Structure 1
Amino acid sequence: MRLRILPNFLVQAILLHHGLSAVVDNSNQIPKLHPRGQIVFNMGSSWSSPASKGQEIFKPADAVATDPSEDPRYRRFTHFLKLNHHDHAIFYHNLQYHNHLPYALASAYIFGGSRDHLHDVYEECSKELEQWQDSPEEIDPDNWRAHLGDKRYQRAYLSFFEDEMEQRGHDWKATLWHFLTDKQVDEGGNDWDNHQLLYGLTEGIGHPLIHLGYALELEDKGLAMEALAMAAVSYNKVHELVDNPYPPLPFITTSEIREVLDKLFDDPNYDDICSKNGMGQPSKILDDPPYVTFYGYVIQKERAALLEAYQKQVEASVMLFTTSHKAGNPQYDFFLAHTVTAAQALRVILPHVDTQQTWHLVRAHMVLMAQVYLSQCRPTIKDWFVDDYDIGNKDWDYIKKKALESEYKYDSHYLKVLRSLQEFEKLFGTGEPGEKKYNMYLKAAVKFADEFSGWIGFSNASMKKLDIKDTNNTQ
C-alpha cells in the first residue's frame, strides 16, 4: 500500500504514533515529514549551486602527475611516496591506525609546498609509523579471499597484488580494477552477494576509499596496490547494508541524506548509543546497524539522481563536520572529518565506475555518514554557523598559506579537509552572491582553518564539546 492513497487523517495518525509529524495538504502528494523534536533537517539545505554544474563529477579529475625530469617538486614528492611504500606498513599501533603519510604529502604537494617542505612533512609524519611485519602466511591466487578482513595479512596482500601486477606487464590499472570488481558467490549464497572489494571501500571509516582516490588522482601504482591491500584487510559487512535487493522496506522512504540523519537524531532507540559503545567507536555501530533507516534511503539508478544525491551528501558532510559543535566553543571531530574526505575521494573514483557501482558507492557513503554520526552521539547540525560566517577578504590563497605555514601544517587530516573543501568548490561552484549558500565551501574552509585547535571525538569527554542531544546527562 502506498502512502499517497491513504486518507490524510490516517497518515497523520500513523506518523504521530511513530513519533513523526507531517505537513499534509489536500492534494495527493506524499506528505513532507518532520520528526517531532527534530533539530537537523528542518534547518533546510539549499544547494551551493545548481546540480548541472556538478556534471563534472562524471569526468576524470584533473591529473596531478607530471614529468619528474621537469618538475623537481614532483620528483621529490614521488620519491617520498616510494620510500613510504617500501618502509612503512599500512596499519600500525597494534593494527589500529592507518598510515596517513601519503595524504599529507599529496595535500602539501598540491597546495604548492616546496621540496624542503615536503621533506619536512615526510620526516615529521613518518616518526610514529612502523616497519612492515611478516604475515602469518603468503597470499596466492587460490587463497586470496580466505583472509579478507584480517589486518595481519597486510604485507602478504600487498606482495600478492604487486606480483599480480607484474604478471600483467606492470599494468596497475588493469590489476586494480580486476580485483576491485572480481565477483564470487559463495556456495549456497545469493546471486547478489558477490563480495566485490569495491563494495568494501567505506570500511575502516572510509580509508580504503580515500587511499584509492589518491592513487587514481596521482596515478601512482604503489598507492593503487596499497589501496587494494587496505580494502582486502578492511573488508567486512558494509556491502550487505547496501546491496541486498530484498530488504525489509520501511513504510516511508527518502532520497534526502539530511532526512536520514534527522531520523537517526530523533530515534529513541539510539539515546544510549554512546553510553553503551563509548564515543569514537564507528565499527561497533555495524554490529547492530539501523537497518530500516539504511534501507529507507532510496536513490534511482540514473545519473541525474545519483549526482543530486552525491551533492547533497557532500553538503551534509561539510555541515555536519563544521557546525556540530556548541555555540562559542568551536571544536572539530576526528571521525566526522572522514565523511568529508571520503566524499572527496568519491569525486575522484566515480568517473571510473559504471552506474550500478556509482549507486553502490554513493549509498555506501550514506552508510558511512550514518555510522559515524551515531558513533559520535548524533550532534546537531546548525547550517547558519557556516552560512553567516564572515570571511572578510580571505580567499583560497589564505587557505593555502594556512595549510603550508600554520602550526598544523603536518596534520594530515587538517590538510585533507582543507583540500577537500577547495575541490568541492571547484566541482560545484560558489553559487550566486546573495544566495544563502554562496561561498559555503570557502566559508567552511576559513572557519575550520582559523578555529581548529586539535581533534576531538575519541572519548566521552568530547561529548561536552559537540552539540549533542541531552539523553544521558552528558551536556
Structure 2
Amino acid sequence: MSTKEASTLTLNELFPSPTPSTAPGSPRFWPGLTPTSVEELKTNLKDNHERWHIFFNDMRFHNHSAHSALALWALGADESILQASYKDSSAYQRPAFEAPNAITATNWKDHLGDEKYYQGYLKFFNEEIKTHGGDEVLKKYVFTNEANIAAGGGPNPSMLQRFLAGLLHPLIHTGYGLEFNLPGMLVEGLAQTAVHEVQTENLLPASVFKSNDGVENLTSRLLRGVGLKNTPAEHKDGVHALTVLARVFADDRLGKNLTEDIRKNFSDTVLNGGHIIKEYTDQWTFHGKLEDLVEELVWANVVIYAIGGWEGAGKPLNADFFYMHLVTSSLFLSSLVHRISSTDAERLLRGYFAISLAVYISQGKPTLDIAGFYEDTTVHPTPPGPLPTPSEGTHPSPSSPIAVTPNPWFAILQTTIVHRDDHLPKLQRALSHYAELYGGRISGSFANTELKGAEHLDGTLFVRAAILTTNRMGWVREGEPPLHFWDRRGFFKSSAESKA
C-alpha cells in the first residue's frame, strides 16, 4: 500500500455502524434496528461513496441516496426497504469520475465551486480527517477566517457561504455525518461544500469574519451559560425569531417582482434584498443556551412550511419543496452547534436564519394564518382504507377513533417508511422529533412575539404538519396513490392577494 493510501480512512472506517449524537436536542434512533438492517445500511453508504457523484445531473441536483437511507434506517426500516429505496435512487445517479488533478493543502482553494474536483476533495478531506479528526477539520475548512477571507486580495474562499448554499444540502449532508458519527458522511459533506458555488454573499458577507477568531464576544460567551431559566418561548426582552419572521412578512420591500422562475427569484431576493434580510437577522437576540436558539429556528421554519403551506379550510397542503428543506435541514443544527465554538455557532445560526428567510421570501412569502390553521387542522388522523375493529373493553371505548389510531405518529411513520419519496422520511423524522422535544409547549408560549396569531401556537404544530403532509403525499400503506413530486408552484398568487 502506498504512503498516500495509508493516510486515508478505509471504507469500513468511513462507514462504521452508526451511533447517535450525544448533543442536546439530537434525534433518537427508533426501535426496529437489526444486525441485518445495519449491514444493509453500511453496504449502501459504501456503494454510494464509491460509485456516485454528489450531483446527479449537470444542473447540480443533489444525490440524496445517503440521506434517505439514514432517515429510513433511523425510523426502523428493515433491510428490504433500505435495499428498495437505494435501488430506486441509484437508477438516476451519475457515476463518479476522477478529478483532473489532486487536491492538496496548497491548492485546495483553487478549485472551489468546480464539481469536476469532487473526487479530489473527497480524497483530500479523507486525509485531513484521518490526520486531524472531524471536529478540527470542520472548524478549519468551514469556520475560520482563512476558509472564508482571501489573504492579500483575490476572491474569498467563502466556505461558510458554500456550506449554506444549494438549499442547505452541504449542511444537511455534513449534519448526517455528525449526528450518526459517520466520518464518511462528513468527508462527503465537506467535499460537497467545496464544489458548491457562492450564492448568498449579501446574506453572510465577509465582514462577519473580521473579528478575531479566538476572541468570543460577551453575547457568544453567554450562550454557553447554564442555569438560565427562560426558554425562547418565554423571554420577554429581546427579539425572538418569530418576531423577525413577522417583520420580514410585513416589509413590502421584500418579495417584489417575483416570477415563476424559482431560481431567479432566489438569486434576485439575495441580490436585491439580502442586506435587508441581514438587518433583520442581526436584530435576532442571542440569549440562553444554544438549544434554545435552535428551538426558535425550528418553530420559525415549521411555521413557514406548515402554516405557510396551509391555503384555507378543506384545501390540500401546498407542500412546498423548498420550504420542506427548511424543516429537514433544521434537524442537524443541534449536532452542529455543539461541535463548534460559540462565535462560530452564532455565525452559523444567523446565516442559516437568513437563508431560511430568503427562501420564504423567494417562494412568495405567503400569509401565516395561525388561527385559521389551528381551527381547520386535526391532531387525530383517520387513515384511509379498512380499519381495525377494537374489541369490547378497549380504551377509551371500542367506538372511539382514538382506539383505532391511539398514537398518530405510529400511523404516520408506518406509511412514511414504505413511501417511495426520498424526502418524506426526512421530513417526518424531523417533525416527529420536534413533537418529542416540544410537544408539551402550551398555547400562549409565543404571545410575546410580534407574529400575528402566535398566541395560538402550541406543541401540536408538528403533528398537524405531519398529518397534512401525509394527506398530501399519500397514505400509500393504506392504499392511496402517492404524490410523485413535492409542490413547486410557490405562493405567488396567495402572497399577491394578501397584499390587496
TM > 0.5: yes
Q: What is the CA distance between 1:390 and its match in structure 2? A: 1.6
Q: Corresponding residue for 2:96? A: 132
In structure 2, what is the Cα distance between the partners aligned to 1:434 and 1:147?
A: 51
Structure 1 distance, partners of 2:379, 2:319, is 19
What corresponds to 2:252 in structure 1?
268
Residue identity matched to 1:342? S
Determine the structure 2 residue equivalent to 1:356: 343
Matched, 1:156 2:156: no
| Compared CA separation, residues 316 and 347, structure 1 to 2 (3 A) | same
In structure 2, which of residues 444, 452, 465 is the aligned counterpart of residue 444 of structure 1? 465
Pair 443,57 (structure 1): closer, same or farther in 2 beyond 3 Å = farther
Secondary structure of residue in 2 paired with 1:98:
coil
Question: Structure 2 counterpart of 1:445, which letter?
Answer: A
Mapped contact 2:63–2:93 kept (Cα < 8 A): yes
Following superposition of structure 1 onto structure 2, how do residues 409-448 of structure 1 map, counting pairs within 5 Å? 409-432=419-442, 436=456, 437-448=458-469
User: Cα distance, 1:146 vs. partner?
Assistant: 1.4
- Is the Cα contact below 8 Å between 1:418 and 1:445 reproduced in 2? yes
By how many angstroms is 1:85 displaced? Answer: 0.7
Residue 168 (structure 2) pairs with residue 206 (structure 1) = yes
1:37: which partner in 2?
none
CA deviations on 1:79-108 (whole Å, 9 max, x unpaired) are 111111111111121042001111111111
CA distance in 2, matches of 1:428, 1:65: 18
The letter for the 2-side match of 1:210 is I
Aligned partners of 2:324 and 2:335: how far apart in 1? 18
Equivalent residue number for residue 399 of structure 1? 412
Amino acid at match of 1:470: E
| Alignment check: 8 A CA contact 1:176 1:225 kept | no
TM-score under structure 2 normalisation?
0.71
Kindly indicate whether the alpha-carbon contact (under 8 Å) linking 1:255 and 1:309 is maintained by their aligned counterparts in 2: no
Q: 1:366 to 1:141 in 2, by over 3 A?
A: same
Say if 1:306 and 1:362, in contact at 8 Å, map to a contact too: no
Q: Give the aligned residue type for 1:387.
A: Y
SS at match of 1:234: coil
Write the distance in 2 (CA, Å) between the matches of 1:312 and 1:472.
27
1:369: Cα distance to partner? 1.1
SS at match of 1:401: helix
1:319 and 1:382 in contact (8 A); partners too: no
Tell me, in whole angstroms, the C-alpha distance in 1 between the residues paired with 2:415 and 2:348.
32
The whole-number CA distance in structure 2 between the counterparts of 1:379 and 1:65 is 34
Structure 1 counterpart of 2:294, from 310, 330, 341 = 310
Distance in 1 between the 2:257 and 2:292 partners? 31
Report the counterpart of residue 61 of structure 1 in structure 2: 26
Instruction: Please state if 1:226 is matched with 2:188.
Output: yes
Work out whether residues 323 and 386 of structure 1, in 8 Å CA contact, stay in contact via their aligned partners in 2.
Answer: yes
How far residue 127 of structure 1 moved from its aligned partner, in angstroms, is 1.1
Shift of the alpha carbon at 1:387? 2.9
1:220/1:369 CA distance change after superposition, 3 Å: same
Whether the 8 Å contact between 2:202 and 2:271 is mirrored in structure 1 is no
Match for residue 331 of structure 1?
A: 318
CA displacement at 1:147 relative to structure 2: 1.8
For 2:84, the equivalent position in structure 1 comes to: 120
Residue 286 (structure 1) aligns with: 270
Q: 1:377 aligns with which of 357, 364, 368?
A: 364
1:183, 1:195 within 8 Å by CA — same for their partners in 2? Answer: no
Cα distance in 1 between the residues matched to 2:341 and 2:156: 16
Preserved CA contact (<8 Å) 2:52 2:96: yes
Contact preservation (8 Å) 2:129, 2:137? yes
Partner of 1:77: 41
Q: Determine if contact 1:391/1:443 at 8 Å carries over to the other structure.
A: yes
Can you give the 5+ residue segments of structure 2 that lack an aligned partner in the other structure? 1-20, 211-236, 381-401, 446-455, 474-482
1:467 paired with 2:489, answer no
In 2, the alpha carbon distance for the partners of 1:262 and 1:300 equals 12
**Letter of the structure 2 residue corresponding to residue 411 of structure 1:** D
AA at the equivalent of 2:169: H
Q: Who is 1:104 aligned against? A: 68
Q: Give the RMSD, CA atoms, in angstroms.
A: 3.5
Aligned equivalents of 1:246, 1:347: Cα separation in 2: 22
Deviations 1:216-242 (A, max 9, x none): 111112111000011111252646634
Amino acid at match of 1:84: N
Partner of 1:387: 374
- Which residue does 1:298 correspond to in 2? 282
| Cα 1:318–1:63 shift into 2, 3 Å | closer
The CA distance in 2 between the partners of 1:106 and 1:58, in whole Å, is: 18
Maintained 8 Å contact 1:280/1:457: no
Residue in structure 2 matching 1:258, options 206, 224, 242: 242
CA distance in 2, matches of 1:158, 1:194: 21
Aligned residue identity for 2:429: R
Structure with the larger RCO, 1 or 2 (CA within 8 Å, 6+ apart) = 1
Show the counterpart of 1:16.
Answer: none
> What TM-score, normalized to structure 1?
0.74
Aligned length: 401
SS at match of 2:295: helix
| Structure 1 residues 364-414: Cα deviation after superposition (integer angstroms, max 9, x where no partner) | 121111211122021122224553422224422112212123xxx221211
CA distance in 2, matches of 1:245, 1:77: 40
Question: Do 1:200 and 1:235's aligned partners in 2 also have CA atoms closer than 8 Å?
Answer: yes
**Percent of counterpart pairs with the same letter?**
21
Mapped to 2, the partners of 1:164 and 1:93 lie a distance apart of 28
- The answer (yes or no) to whether the contact 1:179–1:197 under 8 Å persists in 2 is yes
Q: Displacement of 1:113 after TM fit?
A: 0.6
Whether 1:365 and 2:386 are equivalent positions in the alignment is: no
Provide closer, same or farther for how the CA distance between residues 351 and 306 of structure 1 changes in structure 2, counting only shifts above 3 A: closer
Tell me the amino acid that sits aligned with residue 141 of structure 1: A
How many Å separate the matches in 2 of 1:173 and 1:357? 12
Deviates more, 1:136-145 or 1:75-84: 136-145
Which whole-Å deviations, capped at 9, do the CAs of 1:6-59 have from their partners, x for residues lacking one? xxxxxxxxxxxxxxxxxxxxxxxxxxxxxxxxxxxxxxxxxxxxxxxxxx9963
